[in-house]
Amino acid sequence: MEQVEKSAATLEEALEAALEELGISEQEAEVEIVQEPRGGFLGLGSQEAVVRVRPKRGGGEVSPEELEEQADMAADFLEELCARMGIDADVEPRLTDETMYVEIWGAEGDDEMGILIGRHGAVLESLQELVKVLVGQRAGSRCRVIVDVEDYQKRRRARLVGMAREISRRVQKSGRQEKLEPMNSYERKLVHDVVGKFKGLESESEGEEPERRVVIRRKVPA
């Protein structure tokens, strides 16, 4: 069976590159984490993430029980983190639209949640990476849990999906390719999944981080 192995600074970037090369979505893939990313002191001793990806043969998806177990691991970690930071928050796993979120909510009128989101969601993105590494190591499988703070991720996801659909329709009609604004790997994956549902269209990522972006175009006939 065809498989590819890719390395990158993060697991998401390595996975994205592998899926693009195979021409499949994450739902159609079996993903093996060969190596977790690790930062080094002043760049010394650092290592990239390495993933091995192949088309799914059936099965391979995380079971509902495994997903709940992952969510509980993430929730326990985030509860302890909030406590250590002195943040009064409720942490609760919740399945929404077939996606398992671990939601963090602050007390009413409490502005501390902004600390966990950060400018343009930068802190929340870092929390997500921490959870992915922790859950991946403890569960021995790829983390399928999304960390959300007061629905920030859900709102951003809805806006991004809506924009990707609108641009895909435009490209489908005009035939002219369009480049989207720079996005992180999680956002690019959402766009790739949306474009994949449009007949006759394809998408790929180009450029280097943090300027890496998605290009949407019509497929060239084979």
CATH code of the domain containing 186: 3.30.1370.50
Residue 59's pLDDT band, with cuts at 50, 70 and 90, is very low
Minimum mean pLDDT range among 14-23, 129-138, 142-151, 211-220: 14-23
Residues 142 and 82 in one domain: yes
The answer to whether 185 and 12 have CB atoms below 8 angstroms apart is: yes
Domain boundary (97, 129, 150) is at: 150
Q: Are residues 141 and 73 in the same domain?
A: yes
201 and 126 fall within a common domain: no
Would you say residue 210 has pLDDT above 60?
A: yes
| Structural domain that includes position 47 | 4-55
- Overall domain count for the chain: 3
Query: Domain containing 144 — which CATH number?
Result: 3.30.300.20
Question: Could you tell me if 160 and 134 are in contact, meaning their C-beta atoms sit under 8 angstroms apart?
Answer: no
Based on the fold, state whether residues 77 and 142 are members of the same structural domain: yes
DSSP 141-205: S---EEEEETTHHHHHHHHHHHHHHHHHHHHHHH---EEPPP--HHHHHHHHHHHTTSTTEEEEE
Tell me the mean pLDDT in the region 109-123. Answer: 85
Provide the H-helix boundaries in 31-175: 64-84, 113-117, 122-139, 152-174
Same domain, yes or no: 70 and 111: yes
Using CA atoms, how far apart are residues 184 and 25, in angstroms rounded to an integer? 17
